Structure 1
Amino acid sequence: MDSADYTEVALRLANADLADLASVRAALHDEPWWADRLRDSDLPLLREVADGLRRALAAMVDDPGADEAVRDEVNALLASHPPRPRLSGHGGHARNPHWHLHVAGPDAPAVDEVVAAAAWGLAQGVVDHGTHRWGRCQAEGCGAYFLDTSTNQAKRFCSPRCANRVHVAAFRARKRA
């Protein structure tokens, strides 16, 4: 996994419905090696970390001058759930494995790796993109956070699904008028 993937983990956890284990697993579907090993007893920690992620994201989105608050929230997450990076090389073939970093040891509980990945991912996202490229979906009823990596920094929706829903509704409203 690379740092961009960890940023996605942070966003998925921040945006996840953490009501039950099935919802968490659905949010982490791209990481089945974690999702399948999570337990109900992990939910309180996942909720706590998601709250911290949302506070940092809200500071970036709602108050562009809140760099100190962002730094404090992200540093608190990193201090509470420190990544323990290790180099891993598997996949590919023997002479050319797929090299990447894991943020926890091979025997760490899945929840430890998820929360460390989320903390690291948000921190790396801020390092790579600053605090001005984060947004909240403007589709009614959504509000999911996203990272805007577009060239013109004009992203307004978290996904094509939300954008299409809003645009189709606007088109239909114009047709009725």
Structure 2
Amino acid sequence: MHLNPYGEDAVRLALSLITDPPSDDAAMVARCRAYDLVIELPVTKVDRRATAEFLAEWLTVIDATDHAERATRLNDLLKFASAYPRLTNHAGDGWHLHYRDPQQPLASVLRTLISVGTALHLAGRGMHRLGRCAAEHCDKPYADFSRTGKQSYCSPACANRDAVRRHRARAASTR
């Protein structure tokens, strides 16, 4: 995966794995490849289990109540994902940076990629750009990639449903 300057691809992959967990190893491979992640070693159920455990930890970054706590939680994830950055052309598709050692199992690759991508996203776009959906009966996580940085819903559908709910509540209170 080529990390963009804001870590967007890695954060989108994390959200995809959380909101729609792959059901088996083949689905895990397909999902990672859909996000342009090159898979170097066979994927196993251990990778899926370790990835699910890591993503539960990653959600604590989203659920942090202030920026300092968010940074502390993310730094805790980063210290287990550290390797010196290295240039690589492992897939023959162009030189790019990796923040991990070569020949790592998928769970380790995802831990590093998502941790570093999240750090790039927050440092580049703002520490407030992760959250949980503000709509009633929805607590899906989201990452704000918007131009304005004002997102508070996981999807346009949740934003629209919540707007309709608020409108109906106002209309009912004026009767």
TM-score where L is the length of structure 2: 0.70
Give, in whole Å, the separation in 2 of the partners of 1:169 and 1:39. Answer: 44
Partner of 1:8: 12
- Report the number of matched residues: 162
| SS state at 2:95 partner | strand
User: Which one of the candidate residues 137, 144, 148 is aligned to 2:144?
Assistant: 148
Tell me what 1:95 maps to: none
* Pairwise CA distance, 1:52: 1.5
User: Which deviates more from structure 2 when the two are superposed, residues 114-123 or residues 101-110?
Assistant: 101-110
- Paired residue for 2:38, among 28, 33, 38? 33
* SS of equivalent residue, structure 1 residue 80: coil
Determine if the alignment matches structure 1 residue 76 to structure 2 residue 86: no
**1:3-41 deviations in Å (ceiling 9; x for gaps):** 33233334334x345484366556544246349942101
Unaligned runs of 5+ in 2: none
**TM, length-normalised to structure 1:** 0.69
Unaligned runs of 5+ in 1: 92-97
Which runs of structure 2 are paired with 1:43-54 in the superposition (5 Å)?
A: 43-54=48-59
How big is each residue's C-alpha offset from its partner over 1:36-64, in whole Å with a ceiling of 9 and x where there is no partner?
942101233212211221011100xxx23
- Report percent identity of matched pairs: 26
Contact 2:41 2:104 in 1 (8 A): no
**Alignment match, 2:24:** 21
Alpha carbons of structure 1 residues 147 and 79: separation in structure 2 relative to 1, 3 Å: same
1:129, distance to aligned residue in structure 2 (A): 2.2
Q: How many Å separate the matches in 2 of 1:57 and 1:152?
A: 19
**Which amino acid is the alignment partner of residue 136 of structure 1?**
R
Aligned residue number for residue 104 of structure 2: 108
Match of 1:86 in 2: 86
1:113 to partner: Cα distance:
1.0
In structure 2, how many angstroms separate the alpha carbons of the residues matched to 1:16 and 1:37?
A: 24
Q: 1:32, 1:131 → 2: CA distance?
A: 25
More strand by share: 1
Tell me if the contact between 2:41 and 2:105 (Cα under 8 Å) persists in the aligned partners.
Answer: no
CA contact (8 A) 1:24 1:35 kept: no
Amino acid at match of 1:57: I
